[in-house]
Structures are given as C-alpha cells and as structure tokens.
Structure 1
Amino acid sequence: MTNTATNFDKVQLREIDEDHHGQRIDNYLIGQLKGVPKSRVYRILRKGEVRVNKKRVKAEYKLQAGDIIRIPPVRIAPPNTEQNIEKFDRVKQLESHIIDETNQYLILNKPSGMAVHGGSGLSFGVIEALRALRPKEKFLELVHRLDRDTSGCLLIAKRRSFLTHFHELLRTKAMKKEYLAIVVGDWDSNNNRVTAPLKKNQLKSGERFVSVESDGKPSETRFKCLKRFGQYSLIKAMPVTGRTHQIRVHAQYAGCPLLGDSKYNLNSQDENQLGLKTFLLHAQRLSFTLPEDDNVLVYEAELPSKMEDIINQLNKKSN
C-alpha cells in the first residue's frame, strides 16, 4: 500500500481558552500539530507564518485567553504502518497502568523502558500515548519527568490551572517523591543526606551525562537503607531537588551506584550477575495537595515484577 502524506492542509484559526492561558506558543503548537517535527514548528514561528491576533510572536510568547491564533497549512510525512501497530498495542497496555484519574489530573505507574515523551529517535512516549487514549481531552501535559528506564508514579495535568499549581509545589519543594532502588554495596546508614552539586554535560554523541562539580547546581537527596543483601542494598531515595539523573549520581557519589546502571557504574557488567538489562529505580510514592485544599493526597505505584523478582532472589541468597 502506498503511503500518502498527512496534511494540516488548511489555515486554522484557534481561539485560546482558559485551559491554555499562560502556555508558551511553541509548546501549544507542538501539542496541537501532532506528528509535525519540532524543527518545523519553530520554523513556521520564526518565519512569522503563525500569527497571534494578526501579529508575529516569538516562541516564548505566553498565550492569553481570548487570543486568536492563525496556524498555516503544514504538510508532514505519514507515520510508518508497523510503528502504528506497535504504538496501538503499547497504548492499550498503558491503560492498565493508570493508578487514578480525575477531571484535573492523572497518575500513571509508568513502565520501565518507556520514555515520557517522543524525541531522540522515538516516535512516541507516555504523553503521546495518553493523548491517543484520550483524544477528546483538550489538555494533557507532563507535570514532571522520569528517566526512560525509571518506573513508577508519573503525574499528568488535565487542566492548565492544575499544571501551574503542581509546578508551584515542585518549585517550593511541597510535592514529595519517594523512590526505591537496588544499589551495589553495603549502604552506610549514617549517610542519609547527599548534597553534592550536579552539572549536566552533553557528550559528542548527544548523550546526557551528569557529574558532581563544584560549579554545578545545588542538589539534595535524602536516603534510607531499607535492607541489606550482602554485596547489595535496597534503599529509599527522597530527592529534595529535581536534577537530571540526580538519584543515580548521588548514589554513585555515596559509593553505592545503582545495580545495572551502565552509565554511572563502570563495573556494572562485572557486578550484575542477575540478568538485568538496566538499573532498577522505581518512583514508589508521590504526595501533594490540590488547590485550596490542605489535605495531602498520597499515591503509590506497585513494584514492577522484575524488581520484585530481583529482591526475592537477593533475599534467598542472603539468607
């Protein structure tokens, strides 16, 4: 069968409602023009083909309720049929990972191995999958992120006002996150707080790498050892700040890198005799308040079966 190009083939005029008030126009367009490469979105903005209230705007312009946006015709290549089938299957599986859903937000137990959004060679991620599951939802945005190989609690806002509220909780450190991880080594119970500053670097390959540097950003993670298995430990990590790869790098800095973490544990292949393809880091618990409500909501995500299996194996070996 011959593929034909997908088209947003007519000029569109959109009026901005309250749900999109305050959103950057580039992010709005990326959400609306699904399948259009980000580079194309930024190009039509740069060229002035997108108009707000008949005027040119920059990518960082924040939309106001009542704004009228002119979106030009955009032509994109069709998606690959096999990828569509794979996407459909994975989207259906994701439905069973939803922990709770209200009119304002959604909590997901994100599977390990799935990125939170498309990009870097990935055709789709969690947010694209959820938008496919909820085609009538006008607004679905990630509140925070998890690494591709990290599982557990992921919060998605369904209203812009709630996204703003959740971001304020993150900024003021009022949203609490608890992770479980298996690390290599006997964790020192006296080492319950790491404050090493973190600096994000980009390798020539484009891969991100974070290191402890004196000129890095202030970072803090609190740790608690839950169980020892001889040469391994099960720990709880409670990040106070939210830096890229923070738990992984702080655990390495404390002398106990995550089991199977090939990026931050140079001996991971030698030490990993448990058949792991990646590290085990699970966002087990997330707690927060809602606007104008002091009651703290607490959500927990079940451990992935692989992590349960490894803990059971380690228990048997250590007994």
Structure 2
Amino acid sequence: MNEEAPLKVRFVTVDADLAGQRVDNFLRTQLKGVPKSMIYRILRKGEVRVNKGRVKPEYKLKADDVVRVPPVRVSEQTDKPNPKLEKVASLEAHILYEDDRIMVINKPSGIAVHGGSGLSFGLIEGLRALRPAAAFLELVHRLDRDTSGCILIAKKRSALRHMHEQLRNGQMDKRYHALVAGSWPQNRFKVKAPLRKNVLQSGERLVSVSEDGKPSETRYRILQSYTDATLLEASPITGRTHQIRVHCLHAGHPIAGDTKYGQAEFDARMKKAGLSRLFLHAASISLLHPKTEQPVKFEAPHDEQLARTLEALS
C-alpha cells in the first residue's frame, strides 16, 4: 500500500526583499495551485499566523516576520487537461527581456493583465504558472486588456519599489503607437484635457473629458499618414485610465477598433484592411534599470495583425 506522506506545518521567515508584500499574495507563492478562496478561508479561520498572531489578508509582511503556513492538500486532477496550459506556454514567446530583477513582456491584445471581473486568468497569473519557482512576480504598471505591447514585471520587491518611484517622478518614458481616424493636424503636438472616470453598475469603466476630472496630458507625433487614417506615436505624461483613447477621441480622431470610444464607420473600413482589434500598442519603454541604475530601453514589435493592417493601408 502506497500511503502519501503526511503534510506538515511550515514556518517561513520573511526575507527583507519581500517586506511590504500582502500576506495573501505571499501565501499564493507558498501554496502553489491552492485556489484563492481556500487561501482566504485559512486566513479567516486563523490557520495562518504571523508571529503567532492572527492576521487579515491585507496585512503587509515585515522583514523577519515568521509565517505559519498550514498544510493544505489540493486534489490532483491529472485526468483533466488544463485548457490554460497552452495559454501559459505561449507566454514564453512573448518575453522580450528577463534578468534577476525584471521581466519585459510584449503583451498580446485580448489578455487582461490580471484575473478578476469575471476573468479567472490574466497575464500575471499566467507568468506565475510559467515561473513556479519565482518567489516574487508583480506587475509594475498596467495596460488595458485590448492594448498590446511592453509591460514591466518586477521579480523582486526592491525592484518594484525602484520602478514605482520612477513612475511617480516621471522618469519612465512610455511610447505607444495608435492608428487614428482622419488626418491628424501637423501642428498638434499635445492634448491637455482633464479626465473623469465613471464606473457603471456592471463594473465597466468609462472615462470622459470633464472640468472636474483629473489633469491629464498626452504628447503626439505623426509617424505615417494614410488616405483616411494617421499612425501616431503617443506619449502619456500622466497615467490615467484609457487616457490615450479618450484624448484621441477628444481631438476628433478616435483610435481604430476602439469598441468604447471609437467610430463605427471608420472601424468598418479598418476591418476590411484586416483589423479586428484595438490599434493601440505600447511600442517602447525607457527606464533606469533597478539594479545597475543605467538607462535601458525595450521595444515591442507589432503583432501580425497590426503589421498587416498598415501594409494594407499603404
């Protein structure tokens, strides 16, 4: 008879680099494959202790905290193929750069940066599944679900702090490519318009230009002009939700394939050119490397669909 070895309680001392991480996120890395609901249940029941005391999921760990990790058994479903596995494996091909501090991904359009809002699977969950040995993997910033391109992942908490500071101080330079309707004026280099976010009952976010909104600015440069469209480089100076998309609409030149802020007639024409997604792509990101403090720049090539669309327009 082949009996399984009994699972044991573990006591894990928190490394200084993990200080500041929420205990629920920490447990996700310690208890691989355990559903989120179970993690919250064991926290609620007090089975997880920090320095012998009960804690809430949002408790932020400190260096040298001792975490009691209870034994949790996950029933193995080896007979059921996991439909996410293929998706996870495909992410490997989208890694543009990786070292011991950061990872840069060319995010595909249509994948959310994290699960939630009815999505069980997002980019960060996929990367954690792809790198099960990584103790720490967190998003540095976000991209809309339908936007493709450069996204930064921190592999150490110190790197995350370093890059967040750069974002706050405006030291990070992000450049996007957007295909917009009509001819963008040669002398229009920026859009400054305050943005207000509204969350609908469904949870959907809609952003509009409003006097009582937050100050927002996007800089623009024409890359290529076509018969009834313009390819722009957009650099957001502020980082508001849907900023580039709403600023393009405000300027009278909505982005191609934008189901929220687009123009149906223009989108129908672009569909004939082969476009069935939002034409907004995070083409490059420049920053100071969190380890060397030297300037680095990463560039993400257009996917096949964006490249084909531009070819058709030419």
Q: TM-score, normalised by structure 2?
A: 0.87
Unaligned segments of structure 2, at least 5 residues: 1-6
CA distance in 2 between counterparts of 1:183 and 1:115 reads 23
Aligned twin of 1:261: 258
Question: Structure 1 pair 71/260, CA: closer, same or farther in 2 (3 Å)?
Answer: same
Matches within 5 A, 1:35-46: 35-36=33-34, 38=36, 41-42=39-40, 44-46=42-44
Looking at structure 1, the residues matched to 216 and 251 of structure 2 have their Cα atoms a distance apart, in angstroms, of 14
Same amino acid, percent of matched pairs: 54
CA distance in 2, matches of 1:131, 1:160: 15
Change (3 A) 1:261 1:15: same
User: What is residue 4 of structure 2 aligned with on the other side?
Assistant: none
Secondary structure of the structure 1 residue equivalent to 2:221: strand
Alignment equivalent of 1:200, drawn from 197, 200, 203: 197
- Tell me what 1:312 maps to: 311
Structure 1, 168-177 or 93-102: larger mean CA deviation: 93-102
For the structure 1 residues 210 and 89, does the alpha-carbon distance in structure 2 shift closer, same or farther, using more than 3 Å as the test?
A: same
What is the alpha-carbon distance in structure 2 between the residues aligned to residue 197 and residue 82 of structure 1?
50
| Residue 190 of structure 1: how far off its partner (Å) | 2.5
Residues 1:127 and 2:124 are matched in the alignment: yes
2:20 corresponding residue in structure 1:
22
CA drift of 1:82 comes to 6.5
- For residues 95-146 of structure 1, give each alpha carbon's deviation from its aligned partner in whole angstroms, at most 9, with x where no partner exists: 1221111111111111112222222233322222222222211111111111
Query: Would the aligned equivalents of 1:191 and 1:254 in 2 still touch at CA under 8 Å?
Result: no
Q: Which residue of 2 aligns with 1:222?
A: 219
1:141 to 114, 121, 138: 138
Is 2:83 aligned against 1:67? no
CA distance in structure 2 between the aligned counterparts of 1:88 and 1:254, rounded to whole angstroms: 42
Q: CA deviation at 1:94?
A: 1.6
Q: C-alpha offsets along residues 246-270 of structure 1, whole Å, 9 cap, x if unaligned?
A: 1111111111111110111152554
- Which residues of 2 match residues 168-247 of structure 1 at below 5 A? 168-247=165-244
Among candidates 105, 109, 119, match of residue 106 of structure 2: 109
Equivalent-residue separation in structure 2 for 1:34 and 1:242 (angstroms): 33
* AA at the equivalent of 2:262: N
Give the distance between the partners of 1:31 and 1:254, measured in 2 at CA.
45
SS at structure 1 position matched to 2:258: coil
3-state SS of paired residue (1:258): coil
SS at structure 1 position matched to 2:165: helix
The 1:211/1:188 distance shift into structure 2, 3 A limit, reads same
Matching residue of 1:57: 55
CA distance in 1, matches of 2:245, 2:79: 37
Residue of structure 1 in register with 2:247 after alignment: 250
Residue 250 to residue 88, structure 1, CA distance change in 2 (3 Å): same
Matched residue of 2:298: which SS?
A: strand
1:185-230 deviations in Å (ceiling 9; x for gaps): 2112322222222222222222222222222222221111211112
1:291 Cα deviation from its structure 2 partner: 3.8
Aligned residue identity for 1:284: A
Task: Provide structure 1 residue ranges, at least 5 long, that are not aligned to the other structure.
Answer: 1-8
Where 2:116 maps in the other structure, the secondary structure is: coil
CA distance in 2, matches of 1:74, 1:27: 16
Range with bigger deviation, 249-258 or 291-300: 291-300
Q: Post-superposition, which runs of at least 4 consecutive aligned residues in structure 1 deviate over 6 A?
A: 75-83
The alpha-carbon deviation at position 184 of structure 1 amounts to 1.1
Say which SS state the counterpart of residue 194 (structure 1) adopts. Answer: strand
What CA RMSD, in Å, does the superposition of the two structures yield over aligned residues?
Answer: 2.6
Amino acid at match of 2:294: N
Structure 1 position 294, deviation (Å): 4.7
CA contact (8 A) 2:109 2:277 kept: no
SS in 2 for 1:284: strand
Number of residue pairs matched by the alignment: 307
| Equivalent residue letter for 1:50 | V
Look up the SS of the partner of 2:187 in the other structure: coil
Cα separation, partners in 2 of 1:47 and 1:198, compared to 1, 3 Å? farther
CA contact (8 A) 2:105 2:152 kept: yes
Change in CA separation of 1:277 and 1:81 when aligned onto 2, cut-off 3 Å: farther
SS in 1 for 2:196: strand
Match in the other structure for 1:162: 159
